[in-house]
């Protein structure tokens, strides 16, 4: 349908190259779906150590690109590879900034020079396109790490003929990460001092790269319809609600899709016993293997097994889960937690795992294969988030017949339909109040339904039949690209 649209798709993490969370899943799969619609889309991310160690086949696309950073002129190389669907992917290589053990920081905190790191990446991505003559129509930026790009297009590159008809779309995956730095850093960003005002990049006496993206982009999206409404309220806006309010006509909510080429129980490369709705035996075997792998007692092959795969942060409802672990043990259910993140939560869950070794298995770290095995082998998937822009694990859980128990917020509310025992409709369990009791009640209900096998099978079936593939959302993105492009052409 669209064959003259060029999109430069920039994100700080892209699966399978570098991943800490759902942004990587989205940035790794949405471009493939967009390409299928005839768009010339190209993706870029920093060349982290994680990418380097992945040993992806690459070729040098450009050597010694010159990139201004404050008073300095830095140089960086650009490497090129492609996704499985043939979308070109560019890695921006600068060892002193990106050749580090982690993407953003350690469990103790962020890297101190994150502003420099992502300013370099943002500026480099625009300059690279100009050097190689990739005259993109839309730059699709994600999260604060790329928030300076819309800013550059509206300020220092406003009169640059190469960028004059370029429009920007900014997708916010999480309002909680705002890229806030001292105002004195504005010169490092290379943004004119005139922009340091409440209508611009300034945020309570500092600068916010998230705010910059919101203010300067031609349009903004977030990753579920409900979250797009929530963030315009003080409760969920995290201080940005009034800024968003001013732009509400340009704020869109487009639900994330799932990449069923990686997340499908019939083909998943990380599991040994494949299965589908017609024959669920594979799931049983995967559960038995998981119970064994985790060292849980054999009886959990038949008892309900709850799983959680998550970044460990306050957002994810870790405190809520910690408060009901003892009750879960009393129900004689099993619990497996895989997570990495804040030190306090890592320690808290490890302690609970030690206290209840018969029922609770805790694995700290980032482990893609284990994440798949848990989402496959568990009976229920817990996502008790305080807030959730979209959430992907519950969507994966549905496909694997692993019933989600979620808090009714953001994308969790948009993707899970509460199960009604009478009508047999619905795909999971939802609670509204952010309270341990409300969460536990849903777990208890789920356990009851689990024990009524025909009811449970109906519920599992409903979830496995739900379709969250990317096509529909990719279509929404492409029509938004067209809308924004038309506006830019009129400029
Ligand atoms: P968020 O992006 O807020 O972290 P999402 O639910 O959108 O939440 O996406 C999380 C993604 O990261 C999923 O693909 C999930 O499987 C994965 N994930 C989270 N924690 C881990 C972990 N410790 N090991 C492996 N994968 C993880
Ligand atoms: C963020 C959000 C999550 C969302 C993901 C991908 O990390 O926390 O809800 O699914 O981005 O958009």
**CATH number of the CATH domain containing 68:** 3.40.50.2000
Q: How, if at all, do strands 334-341 and 202-203 pair?
A: unpaired
Please give the pLDDT value at position 92: 98
Q: How far is the CA of 268 from the centre of ligand 2 (A)?
A: 22
Tokens of 245: 């309010």
pTM here is 0.97
Q: How far is the CA of 112 from the centre of ligand 1 (A)?
A: 24
Instruction: Please identify which residue in the block is written with the tokens 């993707």.
Output: 415
Cis check: omega of the bond before 35, within 30 degrees of 0: no
Please give the pLDDT value at position 3: 59
Residues 183 and 195 in one domain: yes
Residues 329 and 436 in one domain: yes
**What confidence tens digit (pLDDT) does each residue in 447-485 have?**
999 999 999 999 999 999 999 999 999 999 999 999 999
Task: Please check whether residue 270 lies inside any domain of the structure.
Answer: no
Residues 55 and 129 in one domain: yes
Buried b (16+ CB within 10 A) or exposed e, 451-479: eeeeebebbbebbbeeebebeebbeebbe
Please give the pLDDT value at position 489: 80
Whether 385 lines ligand 2, by a CB cut-off of 6 Å, is no
The helix/strand/coil state of 463 is helix
Residues 206 and 243 in one domain: yes
Residues 248 and 371 in one domain: no
Please give the pLDDT value at position 107: 76
- Closest C-alpha to 392, from 223, 236, 237: 223
Residues 300 and 423 in one domain: yes
Please give the pLDDT value at position 2: 52
Q: How, if at all, do strands 206-208 and 202-203 pair?
A: antiparallel
Residues 234 and 133 in one domain: yes
Atom of ligand 1 nearest to the CA of 383: 6
Q: Which residues line ligand 1 (CB under 6 A)?
A: 21-23, 25, 309-311, 338-340, 366-368, 371, 390-393
Domain count, the chain: 2
Residues 201 and 228 in one domain: yes
Please give the pLDDT value at position 367: 97
The boundaries of the domain holding residue 435 are: 281-468
Whether 257 lines ligand 2, by a CB cut-off of 6 Å, is no
Task: Please check whether residue 272 lies inside any domain of the structure.
Answer: no
Atom of ligand 1 nearest to the CA of 338: 23
Hey, which of 30, 140, 170, 174 would you mutate to test ligand 2's pocket, going by the most ligand atoms within 8 Å of its Cβ?
A: 174
Whether 389 lines ligand 2, by a CB cut-off of 6 Å, is yes
Tokens of 411: 């994308």
Tokens of 377: 């082998």
Residues of the chain with pLDDT under 70: 1-3
Task: Please check whether residue 271 lies inside any domain of the structure.
Answer: no
Residues 68 and 216 in one domain: yes
Please give the pLDDT value at position 316: 98
**What confidence tens digit (pLDDT) does each residue in 178-194 have?**
999 999 999 999 999 99
Residues 33 and 170 in one domain: yes
Atom of ligand 2 nearest to the CA of 410: 9
Atom of ligand 1 nearest to the CA of 20: 12
Please provide the size of the chain in residues: 491
- Closest C-alpha to 1, from 35, 43, 42: 35
DSSP letter assigned to residue 185: G
Residues 238 and 367 in one domain: no
Torsion angle of C-alpha atoms 458, 462, 464, 466, degrees rounded to 10 = 180
Residues 351 and 210 in one domain: no
Nearest CA to ligand 2 atom 10: 391
Please give the pLDDT value at position 241: 96
């Amino acid at each position: 349908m669209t064959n003259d649209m060029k999109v430069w798709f920039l994100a700080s993490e892209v699966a399978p190259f570098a991943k800490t969370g759902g942004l990587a899943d989205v940035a790794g799969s949405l471009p493939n779906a967009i390409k299928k619609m005839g768009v010339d889309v190209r993706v870029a991310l920093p060349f982290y150590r994680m990418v380097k160690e992945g040993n992806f086949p690459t070729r040098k696309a450009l050597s010694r690109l010159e990139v201004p950073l404050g008073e300095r002129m830095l140089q960086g190389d650009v490497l090129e590879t492609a996704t499985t669907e043939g979308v070109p992917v560019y890695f921006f290589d600068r060892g002193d900034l990106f050749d580090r053990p982690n993407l953003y920081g350690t469990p103790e905190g962020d890297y101190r020079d994150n502003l420099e790191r992502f300013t370099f990446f943002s500026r480099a991505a625009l300059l690279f396109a100009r050097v190689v003559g990739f005259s993109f129509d839309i730059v699709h930026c994600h999260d604060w790490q790329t928030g300076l790009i819309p800013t550059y297009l509206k300020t220092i590159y406003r009169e640059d003929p190469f960028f004059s008809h370029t429009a920007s779309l900014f997708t916010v995956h999480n309002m909680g990460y705002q890229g806030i730095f001292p105002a004195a850093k504005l010169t490092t960003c290379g943004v004119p001092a005139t922009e340091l005002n409440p209508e611009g990049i300034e945020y309570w006496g500092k600068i916010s790269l998230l705010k910059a993206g919101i203010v300067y982009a031609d349009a903004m999206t977030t990753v579920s319809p409900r979250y797009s409404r929530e963030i315009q309220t003080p409760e969920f806006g995290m201080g940005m609600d009034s800024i968003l309010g001013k732009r509400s006509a340009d704020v869109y909510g487009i639900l994330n899709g799932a990449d069923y080429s990686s997340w499908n129980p019939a083909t998943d490369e990380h599991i040994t016993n494949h299965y589908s709705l017609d024959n669920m035996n594979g799931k049983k075997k995967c559960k038995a293997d998981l119970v064994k792998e985790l060292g849980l007692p054999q009886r959990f092959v038949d008892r309900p097994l709850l799983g959680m795969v998550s970044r460990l942060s306050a957002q994810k409802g870790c405190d809520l889960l910690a408060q009901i672990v003892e009750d879960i043990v009393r129900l004689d259910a099993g619990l497996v937690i895989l997570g990495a993140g804040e030190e306090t939560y890592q320690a808290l869950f490890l302690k609970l795992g030690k206290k209840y070794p018969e029922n609770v298995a805790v694995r700290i770290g980032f482990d893609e294969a284990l994440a798949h095995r848990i989402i496959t082998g568990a009976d229920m998937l817990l996502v008790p988030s305080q807030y959730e822009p979209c959430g992907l694990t519950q969507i994966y859980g549905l496909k694997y017949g692993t019933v989600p128990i979620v808090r009714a917020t953001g994308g969790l509310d948009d993707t899970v339909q509460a199960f009604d025992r009478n009508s047999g409709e619905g795909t999971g369990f939802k609670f509204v109040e952010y309270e341990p009791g409300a969460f536990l009640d849903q777990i208890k209900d789920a356990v009851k339904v689990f024990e009524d096998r025909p009811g449970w099978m109906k519920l599992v079936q409903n979830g496995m039949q739900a379709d969250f593939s990317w096509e529909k959302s990719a279509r929404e993105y492409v029509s938004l690209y067209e809308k924004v492009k038309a506006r830019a052409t009129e400029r």
